[in-house]
Every structure is written in C-alpha cells, then in structure tokens.
Amino acid sequence: MALTGARRANIVEMQQGPRPLVVAGIHSCRSARPTTAPPPKPAGASEFASAVIFRQFTHFVADFQMTQYVSTDTSRGILECGPPSAEERYSERYRRQISELLNRVADGESPLGILRAYLPGDVALEQSRRVRSHRLLSAYERAPEIKKLGSPYYDAVRTAKTEAEYWCTASQAISQIRAMFAPQLAPIDSIRLDLQDFGRQDVNPLRNALGQVAFAGLARVFDSAGTLPHCDRLDWDAPRERFRGTPTSQVAANVYLEVPEVGGEIEIWDLVPSFEEHEGLSIANSYGLDRRKLGPPAWVVKPRTGDVVFFDARCVHAVRPSTHGLRVTSSAFLVQFSKHGAFYIYS
C-alpha cells in the first residue's frame, strides 16, 4: 500500500463528536456544481460519439463533486464523507461516494474510508436490536467472546468437511440474514446494490470452483470484547479452494448498527505482513498477533452508529474492548483479483 512509514509515527486519534477538520457537506457540493447545461441531445450519425462525450462529461462532474465532497486529512490519510442531509441520503451522488471510498482504499491510496451516517440512527438501532435478539446468535469457534449471525468463511475452513458444509449452506445463511432485516434491506446488500449501480466495477458474489455462492453479510455482537490484532486474507484462509487467482486487494466493509459509549475503536497498523512476518508476530494457538511486537497502531478510528467504514483488511487491525454498551456490526470483505477489476464479496 502506498503509505509512507513516516505515517507510522503520526498517531492521531479520531474522537467522536465535532472534529477540527471541516467535512465538505452536501450544500457546499451543490454550490460547487458547474453551472453549464449538459450537452444538447445528440442526433443522427454523431449520436454514438455524442453519447460517449456526454458520459465522459458526467464522469468529469462526478469526479469534480467527489473532490469537493470527500475531505482528506492528509496528515492521517483517512477519507471521510458525509453525513448527508435527509433528502441527500438516497441520492445517486451520495451513494456514488461509497464506490469512490472503496476504490481509493482498494487502490492503496488511503488506509481507511468512512462514510458517515449511511444508515439513519433509528434504522441502525432497530437493525441492531434484531441481531441482538436473534435465536441463532452464536459464538465464533476461534474467538468465543464475539457473537455472530451467519457463516464466516474463516471458521468454515478448519477442515475439508466444515468447508464443504459451508458451501452447501451459504445461500441459506444469506436468506436467514435477509429475513431478519426484512422489510429493510440487509446493510451489506444495500452497500452492494449501491456499488453495483453507481460504482465503477461490478460486485459479484464470491463463488467456488463448483459455482456455489459464498456467504456475505455477517452480523456481529461485541459485548465488551475487542479483537486481537490480526489480518484477513482470503488467500491464506483458503489454501484448498481455487478462486480466480490470488487477490490483488481485500477491503473490509463494516456497517455500525450500534456502538458503545466507551471503546470499540478500530486500530490499524501501517503494516501488511508477509506470511513469514505474520508467523513471527503470531500468538501461539490464536488467530491474533502479539501487540508487544507490533508497537502502536498508525490509525485509531471511532465509528458512530450508522457509519460505513472501509479499510485494507490485509493491514494488521484490531478492535478495542468497550464498556457502556454493545458494538453491533454487519460486515463483509470485497476482494479483487486484478487491479481495477470487479469486486467479489464474502464474509
């Protein structure tokens, strides 16, 4: 990732509440819009060429709006967008930002992108309530302090048998998650749809060699527990499975349905370890890495209820323990198998 080692030393915590950085909002975007009218409707033989020019023009406008809309705090490299006004929330222009943030994180331009208030607070909290009270909520096999709903690939790959079961039941697990959130869209489905409709690349379900669909849309409840520092990598989790080659990027997408008052921050280290480095940092018989060997994280971010956060899942990252409330999320990974190629989604 194109992040300098100098940033490692630059540890700044993002606190909840007003920030010194001015986030460009909807109204400043509107005033920044070019006042020129779109080109006139093309006619006759030049129709195709005019359509291409018009498309380039709309991309130019979208890029222009993006630079006005997302603020980059260059000292931290974190991208932040929103929160939107109520009428802007479902607009194409706001939804397009999701894809811009995802692309910039996937391309290594930024360690982390935050879309503020993607879900209205009351919707997020109602979705959290459904997750927390669901009868199928169960502990992670290898991190029992965290509860989950759905079928994480990481747990499935323990043996050939559990992996085979995973592929046979993944689509059923997707249906269960959708039923729980209905009539609302499941948060990860909503992101996926916005990326598909307004983004630059297709977003497809990850499939195995037999064409079976992977599960996406894991819901998680962190009671007071956080996670150990770790990396998420499809290529390390799936040595038996052949996908489309080796991933060139893996971005974690998390939607925050409820956040605790104290703690629950995401910590990210400016480090994508090689497999050998990872082995050297590992705690024996654990998914996690030894903090003492890592030093302090380069970025610490506190999400708010309704936010979406994208970060490079191959970077070492962790969740801080919390008090005074639960931390409930809906999450997935977006993987690319070629630079600027389509995304493939799984949890």
Ligand X SMILES: O=C(O)CCC(=O)C(=O)O
Shortest distance (Å) from residue 56 CB to ligand X: 36
Choose between 69 and 344: whose C-beta lies nearer to ligand X: 344
Choose between 174 and 252: whose C-beta lies nearer to ligand X: 252
Shortest distance (Å) from residue 306 CB to ligand X: 14
The set of residues, in sequence order, having a beta carbon less than 8 Å from that of 157 and lying 6+ positions away, is 163, 166, 237, 238, 240, 241
Shortest distance (Å) from residue 33 CB to ligand X: 34
Tokens 């993607």, residue? 118
The set of residues, in sequence order, having a beta carbon less than 8 Å from that of 65 and lying 6+ positions away, is 29, 32, 33, 93
Instruction: Give the nearest residue (CB) to ligand X.
Output: 252
Distance CA(256)–CA(131), nearest Å, equals 12
Choose between 66 and 101: whose C-beta lies nearer to ligand X: 101
- Structure tokens, 328: 């409930």
Choose between 266 and 345: whose C-beta lies nearer to ligand X: 266
Distance CA(259)–CA(17), nearest Å, equals 13
Shortest distance (Å) from residue 259 CB to ligand X: 9
Judge whether 164 and 146 are in contact, CB under 8 Å. no
Choose between 117 and 266: whose C-beta lies nearer to ligand X: 266
HSE (side-chain half, CA atoms, 13 Å) at 228: 19
Choose between 180 and 313: whose C-beta lies nearer to ligand X: 313
Q: Residues in the site for ligand X, rule: CB under 6 A?
A: 227, 232, 252, 254, 266, 313, 317, 319, 329, 331
Distance CA(246)–CA(320), nearest Å, equals 30
Shortest distance (Å) from residue 2 CB to ligand X: 21
Q: How many helices (H) and strands (E) does the chain have?
A: 10, 17
Shortest distance (Å) from residue 35 CB to ligand X: 41
Peptide bond preceding 120: is omega within 30 degrees of 0, i.e. cis? no
Shortest distance (Å) from residue 343 CB to ligand X: 16
CB atoms within 10 A of CB 18: 6
Choose between 266 and 271: whose C-beta lies nearer to ligand X: 266
